[in-house]
């Protein structure tokens, strides 16, 4: 990992240098989206709510790692002064991001009509679980609820077992912040022609459904069943699964294509004719038994070394700490160290306008509202 320890300043490098983004404090996908924009060079200011309440859950999106690259201040939106500060910043911004429950921003006087009324070119990005309308729009929920309702969670896990929570990568970040980012950047592109901003309604249920499009396509072709671990990429195929090794580690096997499958068998010392056709499901149980027995005979790292350079799609399953030390990820600087903590480097990469090294977070109150308004004047 490369190391960076510096005070936060407005970004001046990256493809979004010069873009002004106002972030109303939230959790999860909103801060993540704002962080990505900051990574890519946007000048992001986050407005916190002044409060001394102890958070009910640990929220890393409100920590230094989750807030890197932007400046923060506090404003009480229930006061005229706080509301006017946000509207003044919105008047100068290109993008506003908020992840409040539907109707809350409007009640506080900083909704789309209020902000776009002051700045017709503003792109007002909103991210919620259920969306801005619909029967569930105002209901509470978390990632697991959103992906559960869309069918995605039902498709994950082992046959006969309960679906496992797949972290919060699918709903919050894949279907939430990434969909919000696509919407915001699309609206900015359209603004170049029309000169007008608009509201982006990014719902995690919509985004999760969109992420599931390939599976929906397979289902439409009759190539996907709703029973878990019954499909080619959900753990049913022995050549697309994970296996335990002798030391308690695991390897990931993704030998879908015939040539990769052939290399897998060769690497395991299995004669192809002893197993039958790769796609004959009647032999999959025998195939799995052979793979399980063989992978359990060596350590994870021994198998990693054995298959290194072999086109069999066999890789070790690494922890985050191990991943940060892997030669490929080190060579690409995929992880960086900021203030002594491991973080993901900005992505994707750009040939002419590369993003800078992530900057440290400066605590709330490090800049006053007057300072920030003057900066954006």
> b/e for 64-96, b at 16 or more Cβ within 10 A?
bbbbbbbbbbbbebeeeebbebbbbbbebbbbb
List of residues 6+ apart from 280 with CB closer than 8 A: none
Please state, in angstroms and rounded to a whole number, the distance separating the CA atoms of residues 144 and 152.
10
Spatial CA neighbour of 270 closest among 259, 281, 262, 260: 262
Given the residues 39, 94, 143, 172, select the one marked as catalytic.
Answer: 172
The Cβ of residue 205 has, within 10 Å, a number of other Cβ atoms equal to 24
Residue the block writes with tokens 């005229």: 80
Annotated catalytic residue within 142, 154, 306, 326 = 142
Instruction: Specify the residue for token string 């006969």.
Output: 160
Catalytic residue flag (residue 142): yes
Provide CB contacts within 8 A for 257, sequence distance 6+. Answer: none
Alpha-carbon distances of 361 from 63, 314, 376, rounded to whole Å? 8, 39, 19
- Using CA atoms, how far apart are residues 10 and 72, in angstroms rounded to an integer? 11
Measure the CA–CA gap between 174 and 168, rounded to whole angstroms: 9
DSSP string, 213-265: HHHHHHHHTT---SSTT-STTTT-STTEEEEE-TTS-EEEEE--SHHHHHHHH
Which residues are known catalytic residues? 142, 172
């Amino acid at each position: 990992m490369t190391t960076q320890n510096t005070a936060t300043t407005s970004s001046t490098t990256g493809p979004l240098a010069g873009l002004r983004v106002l972030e109303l404090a939230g959790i999860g996908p909103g801060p993540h989206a704002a962080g990505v924009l900051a990574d890519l060079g946007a000048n992001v200011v986050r407005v916190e709510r002044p409060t001394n309440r102890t958070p009910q859950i640990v929220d890393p999106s409100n920590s230094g790692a989750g807030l890197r690259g932007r400046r923060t201040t506090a404003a009480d939106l229930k006061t005229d002064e706080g509301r006017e500060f946000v509207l003044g910043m919105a008047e100068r911004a290109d993008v506003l991001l908020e992840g409040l429950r539907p109707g809350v921003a409007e009640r506080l006087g900083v909704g789309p009509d209020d902000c776009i009324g002051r700045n017709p070119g503003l792109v007002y990005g909103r991210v919620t679980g259920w969306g801005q309308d619909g029967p569930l729009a105002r209901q509470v929920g978390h990632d697991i609820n959103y992906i559960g309702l869309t069918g995605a969670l039902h498709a994950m896990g082992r046959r006969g077992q309960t679906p496992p929570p797949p972290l919060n990568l699918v709903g919050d970040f894949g279907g939430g912040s990434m969909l919000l980012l696509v919407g915001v950047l699309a609206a900015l592109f359209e603004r170049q022609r029309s000169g007008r901003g608009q509201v982006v309604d990014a719902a995690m249920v919509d985004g999760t459904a969109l992420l599931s499009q390939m599976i929906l396509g397979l289902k439409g072709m009759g190539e996907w069943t709703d029973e878990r671990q019954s499909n080619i990429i959900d753990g049913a195929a022995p050549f697309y699964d994970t296996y335990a090794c002798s030391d308690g580690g695991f390897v990931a096997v993704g030998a879908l294509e015939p040539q990769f499958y052939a290399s897998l068998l060769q690497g395991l010392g299995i004669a192809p004719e002893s197993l039958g056709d790769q796609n004959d499901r009647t032999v999959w149980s025998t195939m799995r038994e052979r793979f399980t027995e063989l992978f359990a005979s060596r350590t994870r790292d021994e198998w990693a070394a054995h298959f290194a350079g072999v086109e069999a799609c066999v890789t070790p399953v690494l922890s985050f700490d191990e991943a940060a030390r892997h030669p490929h990820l080190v060579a690409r600087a995929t992880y960086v160290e900021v203030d002594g903590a491991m973080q993901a480097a900005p992505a994707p990469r750009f040939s002419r306008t590369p993003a800078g090294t992530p900057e440290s977070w400066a605590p709330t109150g490090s800049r006053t509202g007057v300072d920030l308004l003057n900066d954006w004047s």
